[in-house]
Every structure is written in C-alpha cells, then in structure tokens.
Amino acid sequence: MSATSGAFDDLAANDVDNLIHPFTDLVAHRTLGPTIIVRGEGVRVYDADDNEYIEGVSGIWSASLGFSEQRLVDAAVAQLQALPNYHAVAHRSSPPVIELATRLTELAPHDAAKVLFTGSGSEANDALCRVIWYVNNAQGRPEKKKVFAHDRGYHGATVWTAGLTGLSSSHQGFEGPAPLPGIVHVASPDAHQVAEPGETPDEFAIRLVDAVERRILAEGPETVAAFFAEPVLGAAGVVIPPPAYYPLLGAMLDCHDVLLVADEVITGFGRTGRLWGSEAVGLAPAACTFAKAISGGFAPIAAVTLGPQLAEPLVEQSGALGGFNLGFTFGGHPVSAAVANAAIDLTLQRDLPRRAAELGRALSVGLRDLMDISIVQEARSVGLLGALDLAPRRATDPEIADARRLVAAVASAAEAEGLFVRAAGTAVAVCPPLVITADDLEELLARLGRALRSVAAGAHSQGSRDDDLAGR
C-alpha cells in the first residue's frame, strides 16, 4: 500500500532522489519507495491514496494523544501568534517554558530541582551525561566519568548516545563494534533471552545486579558516574524487567555512589499505565530524560530533570566558571513548550495513565491470544506498550537473523492490512495512542492477527521495507 499514484508520483520520485530516510535501507528504498502520509485523524493516518492505517506504534512511540487533537493545535497557534520563537540562553525566558519547567519539577518521578530543555531525546541523554561530568568535575572527582547502559538499550543517535545504545546495528558502519571508551554495556533484564532455564524472576534479577556490581568493582567505582536505563526497553523489543531488578540495581548503585538515571523517552506520560515508567518498574532515578509524548509528539521538545544532588553543584559551578555553557537554540522553544503544557494538561485531565492501565489489560489478553499462531513465541506488555517475539531463540542463537526477517515480514504484512507496527529486533512492538478506543484496539489486534497468520502461512515474503530496522 505504498502510496505513489497520480499527483503523488512526483513527490515519491523526489523523496527517493532527495531524502535520506533514517534507519532505512536506502538501496531498497529506491524500489520500495516511500509511504507518504498526508493526514491524521484520531489513531489513524492516511496515505496519499487515502488508504487508512491504524498507527499501532504512535509514529515513533510518540503520538500519545493521536493525530488530530485540536487543543494541541490551538495551543501551538496561540503561541505562534504571541511569540513564535525564543530561547532560554543568557537569562532570556518565556512564559510557556517557565510553566513547563515548573510542572516537570512537580511531576517528575523523583525529587527534581531543575529542568534543562533540549530538542530531542538524544540531545537530552547527551546533555544529561555532560551535566553529570560537569558536576563530578566540580566536586573534584574528574575520573568519575564512565557510564553504564544495557545491551540492546536505545538512547539516541548522537556520537555519545549512539555509543550508549547497546544495539550493534547502531554502531555498524559508523564507529565500529567496540563501544566508545567510557561506556560499559551490561546484560539486558530480558527474561526471554537472557534468563537461565529454570531461573525465577528474583534469581534472574539478583544474578544480573551481581554481575553489574562485579563490573563496577572491576572498573573501579571511583571511575563510574552513572547507569542510564530505560524503565522498559522499547527498541530492544519492549523488554519488561523482573519486578526486583530496578529496586536491587538502585540500592547496589547507591552503595557505589553511581547515579541511576531513567530514560523516560518512550515510557513517560502514561504509556505504561502509570504516569512514569519508573513508577511502573520500581526505578528510583536521580535524574530523568523525557521526549516524544511530552508534547503528544506534536512539536519537537525534550527535557532533563535533575535532582538536587546534581542541580545544586551545577548552579554553583556555573557561578564559579561564569557560565553553564551547554545548551541548544531550540532548548526552550516557546511553541513546543506551549504544546507540551497542553499535552500534559490533557494527559492528566483525561487520566490517560489509568486509561492505559485499563486498555492495557485488553492489549495483554489480545496479544496472548495471538500466541496460538505458530511463529509467535512470547507475548508481553505493560500498559499500552507491548510486543510479540517471533522466533525461538536465545541471544546466541544463529537463527536470530531469520527471526529479524520474520519480524520485518510481519511489519510489512501489517502495513498491507492497514496497521503500522514496529520491528524491534526479534519482536513486533505495538504502542498505540493512549486515546485509542476499545473497539479500535480490537481492530488493531485483528489486523495484527491477520498479518501474523499470512506470514506464518508463507503468504507474505520475508524481507520488506522494515527489513533494515534495528528496532529503533
């Protein structure tokens, strides 16, 4: 259903000629061409031929309020008319940015003292690392700089955050397989791929946290600054850690004076059935990063919240040095901030976390029901964030490449059924807008079921426009 007919032929040709599509096989794109989306309505988007798709992954995990929320449009228009562009550099400010900072310090899943705005999730994670280094330098421990992160975690596409990302596909062709110096990857809390046979969830959590502790001791705790963690690992295939994992990890990291920080870029703003993913998994962060649903995905904006142990020394050091010299032109954009304020209002007024929890039960049951299809190995979800694993494998299984092709084939078959899902490693991920109705969720699951059955029956060829996806 790639839409390239009539007046859109030129558009499609110009797309292929001129656009570099992120996370896309650009050679395959020459033949597959773009799916050009021209409008959105609720949880649906429409292509240039007016084919309808349920956006089962909210764009890139972001459109929590759907694709036509008038209150977000109104907030953007009002702010565009009042002040379309400003910034937060050199003491300048604007009302929506101040309001958003105040709300985030109140709402964040930790004792948050200050907020720094950026334009994207990658920039937020990048900036947070630099803040931690700045503070450690200020506190006279310049050697405390290493950062830990999970295998298969995703944290961004800048040099440093791609480094933090534990997906080999993010490194392939760029810096190479070796992690950047100063970054340490540890096992993902993924019971499906990493747990030993017969291991209970608690035993699994204890084993992983022990391994992290041994690695910290081997590196030297005085050299380890922070652990960056997604509460639920999205791009890894919606990895939901065992309940004991984050509480144990946090307590252990405290003993070694290593900060645990939460990348809430996917999990924030109700997705997991709680306002924050951290709350859903018992993660007590010292700092957080937010993006995507912060504005319902209607405007690019991201944020870093800092606990007092980071914020206070940062402020003092900026005084000593005559400036905190880190920031972005669009870090504090008034239009994005106004949209984010409206999105947070709607999220709270409509109690979308509760809605995600309630509908999440239907998603969980619906995904489990699909396990009768031969290629489905596991179903898991938390709130309105779920995934199906599609092949029998452990991390070392040589079949893994085939599983990925299978996932790509299902994503492509789903598109033909009028459903966008995400190829996330060996899993198909779903993450619909939080405003989805029960009927539309049922329809989403029906379309996904048809796509899975057609691939299981060999009716849909493997390899597709999603073949390239690393799982971002």
Take residue 70 and report the two structure tokens written for it. 């008038």
End-to-end CA distance of the chain: 22
Q: Which is nearer to ligand PMP, 54 or 239 (CB)?
A: 239
Residue of 235, 387, 409, 444 that binds ligand PMP (CB under 6 A): 235
Q: Specify burial of residue 457 (Cβ count, 10 A radius: 0-12, 13-18, 19+).
A: exposed
Site for ligand PMP in 14-73 (CB under 6 A): 60-61
Take residue 307 and report the two structure tokens written for it. 């606990």
Residue of 109, 231, 234, 425 that binds ligand PMP (CB under 6 A): 234
Q: Which is nearer to ligand PMP, 8 or 23 (CB)?
A: 23
Site residue total, ligand PMP (CB under 6 A): 17
- In the complex, least distance from residue 450 CB atom to ligand PMP, rounded to whole angstroms: 27
Q: How many residues does the chain have?
A: 472
The three-class DSSP label of residue 203 is helix
- In the complex, least distance from residue 417 CB atom to ligand PMP, rounded to whole angstroms: 24
Q: Which of 146, 232, 144, 221 is nearest to 188 (CA)?
A: 232
Residue of 69, 230, 415, 467 that binds ligand PMP (CB under 6 A): 230
Take residue 397 and report the two structure tokens written for it. 């299984």
Site for ligand PMP in 149-208 (CB under 6 A): 154-156
The three-class DSSP label of residue 367 is helix
Select the span of 120-128, 241-249, 324-332, 454-462 touching ligand PMP (CB under 6 A). Answer: 120-128
Interatomic CA distance for residues 129 and 122, integer angstroms: 11
Residue of 35, 64, 79, 122 that binds ligand PMP (CB under 6 A): 122
Q: How many CA atoms lie within 13 A of 301 on its CB side?
A: 30
Q: What is the DSSP string of 312-351?
A: HHHHHHHHHHT------TTTT-HHHHHHHHHHHHHHHHTT
Return the residue nearest ligand PMP (CB atom): 121
Select the span of 103-111, 117-125, 210-218, 220-228 touching ligand PMP (CB under 6 A). Answer: 117-125
- In the complex, least distance from residue 212 CB atom to ligand PMP, rounded to whole angstroms: 19
Interatomic CA distance for residues 333 and 437, integer angstroms: 32
Q: Which residue has the tokens 């029998």?
A: 392
Site for ligand PMP contains 244 (CB under 6 A): no
Contacts of the segment 308-311: beta carbons below 8 A, 24+ positions apart: 308/111, 308/113, 309/259, 310/113, 310/131, 310/132, 310/135, 310/259, 310/286, 311/113, 311/114
Site for ligand PMP in 250-269 (CB under 6 A): 263, 265-266
Site for ligand PMP contains 433 (CB under 6 A): no
Q: Which is nearer to ligand PMP, 48 or 280 (CB)?
A: 280
Interatomic CA distance for residues 331 and 455, integer angstroms: 44
Q: Which is nearer to ligand PMP, 4 or 289 (CB)?
A: 289
- The whole-angstrom distance between residue 391's C-alpha and the CA centroid of its chain comes to 23
Residue of 121, 273, 285, 432 that binds ligand PMP (CB under 6 A): 121
Site for ligand PMP contains 236 (CB under 6 A): no
Q: Which is nearer to ligand PMP, 373 or 407 (CB)?
A: 407
Select the span of 228-236, 237-245, 333-341, 427-435 touching ligand PMP (CB under 6 A). Answer: 228-236
Interatomic CA distance for residues 333 and 87, integer angstroms: 6
- In the complex, least distance from residue 124 CB atom to ligand PMP, rounded to whole angstroms: 7
Q: Which of 360, 205, 191, 188 is nearest to 274 (CA)?
A: 360
Q: Which is nearer to ligand PMP, 120 or 381 (CB)?
A: 120
- In the complex, least distance from residue 63 CB atom to ligand PMP, rounded to whole angstroms: 13
Q: Which residues bind ligand PMP (CB under 6 A)?
A: 60-61, 120-122, 125, 154-156, 230, 234-235, 263, 265-266, 291, 472
